[in-house]
Amino acid sequence: MTRIIRLAISTCPNDTFAFHGLLTRAVDWRGLDFEVSLLDIEALNTGLTRGDFDVCKASFAAALAVAGDVVVLPSGAALGFGVGPLLLASQPGSVPRDAAQVTLCPGEHTTAALLFAMFHPRSTRIEHVVFSEIMPRLRDGSADFGVCIHEGRFTWEAQGLHLVEDLGTRWEGATNGPLPLGGIVASRRLPREVIATVQRVIRDSLDLALADRAAALPTMRAHAQEFDDRVLMQHVDLYVNEWTRDLGETGRRALDAFAGRAASVGVGITTRDDPARGAARLEIFAG
């Protein structure tokens, strides 16, 4: 009997690029039957915490909350230098420092929201909205600041918005390492041999896209917020790198640093996972 895998990924271009081969069955599913959902990142994070998926893309901040129940797959992650979310303002020269101000974040469990909490604690009132609502609300003046992710990193200037800071650059300066944004996690309920097969399919899909980047464009366009092919490929150039193929030792160190700093603001605290430190850790699957 074919094993059904409930797989969920985001609609952002780096995911639809990496999973193009899987989504179109251009790669061998290796005896598995993938039921795929494409969702906003916070819907993915919420579904992860509810146990809705067997395998899914998730913010590493959300994965920390269920670290004992999942493993991180070596392939498919977004980790690197210069990849962080941007803190934008509706007005030039503004800084978040007033409880009457409003900062929009793309979801309570996103890495973007966690970074804002780390570097601007208790500075403004936070509202969580779908990421595609953030820049329109900054433009119409219904919010003061927004933590911008995905394609908006390349279009904010054209939309008349103003950069407060690059939160990824802030992270790099504080840790001397790359920023781990999100990755593919698999439920520990799955047998290890099944997780290993899923990992191989994902690596096959990513390698196919890297070998023929243009072939993935129709899949990327079908789900993107921004339809300029140049912007879509800028997104791929930024977020798909050597660590997307394999997190490796650099990825493990980055995830350990992330877990430790997240614990400092109360994310991923659990004595079950690490009684000595009280901080959850994310395990990278080795199968």
| Active site annotation includes 128 | no
3-state secondary structure of 260: helix
Other CB atoms within a 10 A radius of the CB of residue 6 amount to 15
Give me the DSSP letters along 36-63: EEEE-HHHHHHHHHHT--SEEEEEHHHH
Q: Other C-beta atoms within 10 Å of 131: how many?
A: 27
* Active-site residue, selected from the candidate residues 120, 150, 223, 235: 150
Beta bridge pairs of residue 21 = none
CB 119 within 8 A of CB 170: yes
Residue 287 near residue 196 (C-beta atoms within 8 A): yes
Burial class (CB in 10 A: 0-12, 13-18, 19+), 99: exposed
Question: Which tokens hold the place of 169?
Answer: 């650059």
Determine the Cα–Cα distance for residues 199 and 45; give it in Å rounded to an integer: 20
> Which amino acid does the sequence have at 283?
E
Over the range 52-66, which residues count as b (16 or more CB within 10 Å of their CB) and which as e? Answer: bbbbbbbbbbbbbbb
Structure tokens at 52: 């809705």
Q: Which residues are catalytic?
A: 150
